[in-house]
Structure 1
Amino acid sequence: MNTTEAVKAIELRDLRYFLAVVEAGSITSAAVKLHVAQPYLTRKIAALEKRLGDSAEPTLRERVELFDRKKRPHQLNQTGRAFLEAARVIVEKLDLAVENTHRIRLGEIAGKLGYLTVGFTSAMANGILPDILGAFKQNYPNISLILSEETSSNQIQRLRDRATDLMFVYQYLDLTESLAATADLDVLLLVRESLVVVLPARHPLADRSVISLADLRDESFIMPDRQVVPGLFREIEGLCVQSKFVPNIALEAVFMVTILGLVAGEIGISILPASVQNLQRKGVVYKKLQERAVTNQLAAVWRRDNSSPILANFIKIIEGIIGKEI
Structure 2
Amino acid sequence: MDVRQFRHFAAVAETLHFGRAAERLRMTQPPLSQSILALEKELGAPLFVRTKRNVRLTPLGEQWLPQVQAALAALDALPGAARRMRDGRSGFLALSFVSTADYSVLPSLVRRYSQAYPEVEIRLFEATSDVQLPALVEGERHAGIVIPPTDQPLPPALAYRRLLREPLVAAVPSAWIDEGRIGSDAVLSAEELLASPLILFPKHVAPAFHDLVTGHYRALGGDARIAQEAIQMQTIISLVSSGLGIALVPASLRNLARTGVTYVPLAGTAPELETGLAWRKGEISPTLANFLKLTEPG
Q: Which moved more, 1:201-210 or 1:127-136?
A: 201-210
Rounded to whole Å, the distance in 2 between the matches of 1:234 and 1:171 is 12
Compared CA separation, residues 133 and 206, structure 1 to 2 (3 A): farther
Report the counterpart of residue 312 of structure 1 in structure 2. Answer: 289
Report the counterpart of residue 225 of structure 1 in structure 2. Answer: 202
For 2:286, the aligned partner's letter is: P
Rounded to whole Å, the distance in 2 between the matches of 1:166 and 1:234 is 24
- Residues 77-96 of structure 1 mapped to structure 2, 5 A cutoff: none
For 1:271, the aligned partner's letter is: L
The question of 1:202 aligning with 2:175 is answered yes
Give the drift of 1:236. 0.7
Instruction: Spell out structure 1 runs of 4+ moving beyond 3 A.
Output: none
1:184 aligned to which of 157, 162, 176: 157
> What SS is found at the alignment partner of 1:133?
helix
Rounded to whole Å, the distance in 1 between the matches of 2:118 and 2:240 is 40
The question of 1:238 aligning with 2:211 is answered no
Rounded to whole Å, the distance in 2 between the matches of 1:225 and 1:276 is 19
Which 5+ residue runs of structure 1 have no aligned equivalent? 1-107
> What SS is found at the alignment partner of 1:162?
coil
2:135 aligned to which of 152, 155, 158: 158
> What SS is found at the alignment partner of 1:246?
coil
CA contact (8 A) 2:93 2:288 kept: yes
Query: How many pairs were matched up?
Result: 209
Identity percentage over the alignment? 31
> What SS is found at the alignment partner of 1:135?
helix
Higher relative contact order (CA 8 A, sep 6+): 2
Give the drift of 1:282. 1.0
- For residues 110-158 of structure 1, the C-alpha deviation after alignment (integer angstroms, 9 at most, x for no partner) is x993111111111110111110011111111111111111122122211
Rounded to whole Å, the distance in 1 between the matches of 2:129 and 2:160 is 16
Compared CA separation, residues 202 and 125, structure 1 to 2 (3 A): same
Rounded to whole Å, the distance in 2 between the matches of 1:206 and 1:318 is 41
Work out which of the two has the higher radius of gyration on C-alpha atoms and give 1 or 2: 2
- For residues 31-74 of structure 1, the C-alpha deviation after alignment (integer angstroms, 9 at most, x for no partner) is xxxxxxxxxxxxxxxxxxxxxxxxxxxxxxxxxxxxxxxxxxxx
> What SS is found at the alignment partner of 1:208?
coil
Rounded to whole Å, the distance in 2 between the matches of 1:200 and 1:206 is 12
Give the drift of 1:198. 0.9
1:271 aligned to which of 234, 238, 248: 248
Compared CA separation, residues 246 and 146, structure 1 to 2 (3 A): same
Give the drift of 1:172. 4.4
Give the drift of 1:303. 1.4
Give the drift of 1:212. 3.1
The question of 1:252 aligning with 2:225 is answered no
> What SS is found at the alignment partner of 2:203?
coil
- Residues 1-326 of structure 1 mapped to structure 2, 5 A cutoff: 113-174=90-151, 177-179=152-154, 183-203=156-176, 204=180, 205-319=182-296, 323=298
Give the drift of 1:206. 5.0
Q: Which moved more, 1:165-174 or 1:117-126?
A: 165-174
Report the counterpart of residue 43 of structure 2 in structure 1. Answer: none
Rounded to whole Å, the distance in 1 between the matches of 2:235 and 2:133 is 26
Report the counterpart of residue 44 of structure 2 in structure 1. Answer: none
Report the counterpart of residue 19 of structure 2 in structure 1. Answer: none
Rounded to whole Å, the distance in 2 between the matches of 1:195 and 1:172 is 17
